[in-house]
């Protein structure tokens, strides 16, 4: 059951409302990238702190995402990976899904249609929760996962 099941789909809708959404998403990504490039979240007051961190003093799976993206935009792949490895691993999938969405919005046909088996999503959930717990363990090698 762990194979990805491909489902073909015929697209014959009239006007595609996804175009406006795609334009908006693209605009947000560009604006966020420019901001993140010029203002380092590690030293700037521009960004709010993580509410989870403020309330509990613990790290969450999203901690280090903005700092990692800042480092990534400056080409520091290793530093970015050290700040939030899970984010960096998931990034190619997020970019892939963004591209797929864009192609579908513009041409009306998607690059791929993948049905992700439920098992894989449950596994992802376990990974996220394990990551959440483990990166709070304050000694080596777990502390490496902390931002």
Partner 1 sequence: MTKQSVPNYLVQAILVTLFCCLPLGVAAIVQAAQVNSKLQVGDYEGAVLASEQAKKYCWWSLYAGIAVFILYFIIGLVSGGT
Which residues are near partner 1 by CB under 8 A? 5, 7, 9, 45, 48-53, 60-63, 65, 84, 86-87, 90, 93-94, 97, 113, 115-118, 121-122, 124-125, 128-129
Please report how close the Cβ of residue 94 comes to partner 1 at its closest, in angstroms: 6
In this structure, are residues 119 and 47 in contact, taking their beta carbons and an 8 Å threshold? Answer: no
Would you call the peptide bond into 106 cis, given omega within 30 degrees of 0 as the criterion?
no
**Residue 116: is it exposed, middle or buried by C-beta count within 10 angstroms (0-12/13-18/19+)?**
exposed
Please report how close the Cβ of residue 17 comes to partner 1 at its closest, in angstroms: 14
**Cβ nearer to partner 1, comparing 37 with 122:** 122
Helix (H, G, I), strand (E, B) or coil at 42: coil
**Cβ nearer to partner 1, comparing 23 with 46:** 46
Cα 56 from Cα 60, distance rounded (Å):
10
**Cβ nearer to partner 1, comparing 76 with 131:** 131
**Cβ nearer to partner 1, comparing 54 with 139:** 54
Cα 105 from Cα 20, distance rounded (Å):
8
Please report how close the Cβ of residue 134 comes to partner 1 at its closest, in angstroms: 15
Please report how close the Cβ of residue 47 comes to partner 1 at its closest, in angstroms: 8
User: In 3D, which of 112, 114, 108 has the Cα closest to residue 11?
Assistant: 108
């Amino acid at each position: 059951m762990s194979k990805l099941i491909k489902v073909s789909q015929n697209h014959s809708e009239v006007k595609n409302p996804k175009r406006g959404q795609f334009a908006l998403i693209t605009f947000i990504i560009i604006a966020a990238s420019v901001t993140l490039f010029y203002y380092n979240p590690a030293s700037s007051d521009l960004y709010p702190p993580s509410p989870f961190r403020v309330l509990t003093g613990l790290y969450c799976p999203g901690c280090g995402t903005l700092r990692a993206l800042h480092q990534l935009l400056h080409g520091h792949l290793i530093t970015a990976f050290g700040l939030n490895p899970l984010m960096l691993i998931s990034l190619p999938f997020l970019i892939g899904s963004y591209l797929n969405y864009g192609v579908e919005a513009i041409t009306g046909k998607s690059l791929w249609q993948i049905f992700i088996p439920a098992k894989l999503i449950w596994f992802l959930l376990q990974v996220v929760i394990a990551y959440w717990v483990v990166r709070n363990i304050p000694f080596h090698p777990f502390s490496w996962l902390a931002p």
